[in-house]
């Protein structure tokens, strides 16, 4: 296992001073009472702050809503599980026999283990080191989002739904007055809807799409 730790530490570009943190981060609750749940809890907070800090400093032209969408994408369960898979965490993770053949649950477990590793780095060193590892490992995902940041919210929502093989959203004018328009965006297949307001119908649709996209990502995070 020590050799495995060395290989994994090379992949994350960080060597633990206290290997217990890494060992615990790779131990699922189905395997031992001394498991990674507390480190996962901590790592989740560290990752959110690290990504928020990076986005606020590097995407200075985006508003709060757009920043929230980018962050939600980066910290989603799907993204973290993808990074965990790229690191090959399945080769290091210690899980109970009851989960060995449950692939769907194992994918989520990998993402949780990644969060736990980040929590372990925070305790082993500090926030700056943990944040550095997060940004380095999410570099490809961040670069992808940089290319997509200029896309409007309706396009981003459409692409997200197409990726999930879900029907496209329906937009309905809810009400209008002299000052604003209110539009409802609905994805019936997922039983999700959101409202958006704007000075015209187009702006209201964009805001409704942005709100539904945030809800969609958060519900699957």
Euclidean distance between CA atoms 168 and 213, whole angstroms:
12
Task: Quickly count: other Cβ atoms within 10 Å of residue 106's Cβ.
Answer: 16
Euclidean distance between CA atoms 165 and 167, whole angstroms:
7
- Phi then psi dihedrals of residue 179, to 5 deg: -100, -30
Which of 62, 81, 46, 50 lies closest to 145, judged by CA? 62
Catalytic site includes residue 167: no
Euclidean distance between CA atoms 52 and 71, whole angstroms:
7
74: its two tokens: 């980066």
Catalytic site includes residue 115: yes
Catalytic one among 40, 115, 141, 160? 115
Catalytic one among 3, 37, 40, 44? 44
212: its two tokens: 């539904």
Residues carrying an active site annotation: 44, 115
């Amino acid at each position: 296992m020590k050799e495995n730790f060395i290989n994994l530490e090379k992949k994350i570009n960080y060597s633990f001073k206290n290997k217990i943190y890494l060992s615990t981060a790779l131990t699922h609750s189905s395997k031992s009472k001394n498991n990674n749940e507390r480190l996962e809890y901590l790592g989740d907070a560290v990752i959110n702050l690290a990504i928020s800090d990076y986005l606020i400093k590097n995407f200075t032209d985006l508003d709060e809503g757009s920043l929230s969408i980018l962050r939600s994408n980066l910290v989603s369960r799907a993204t973290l599980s993808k990074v965990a898979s790229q690191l090959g965490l399945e080769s290091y993770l210690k899980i109970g026999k009851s989960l060995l053949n449950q692939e769907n649950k194992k994918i989520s477990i990998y993402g949780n283990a990644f969060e736990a590793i980040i929590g372990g780095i925070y305790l082993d060193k500090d926030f700056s080191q943990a944040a550095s590892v997060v940004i380095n490992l999410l570099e490809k995902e961040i670069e992808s989002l940089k290319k997509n940041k200029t896309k409007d919210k309706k396009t981003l929502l459409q692409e997200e739904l197409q990726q999930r093989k879900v029907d496209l959203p329906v937009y309905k004018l809810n009400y209008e007055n002299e000052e604003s328009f209110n539009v409802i965006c609905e994805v019936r297949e997922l039983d999700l809807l959101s409202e958006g307001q704007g000075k015209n119908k187009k702006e209201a649709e964009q805001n409704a799409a942005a709100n539904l996209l945030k809800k969609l990502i958060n519900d699957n995070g």
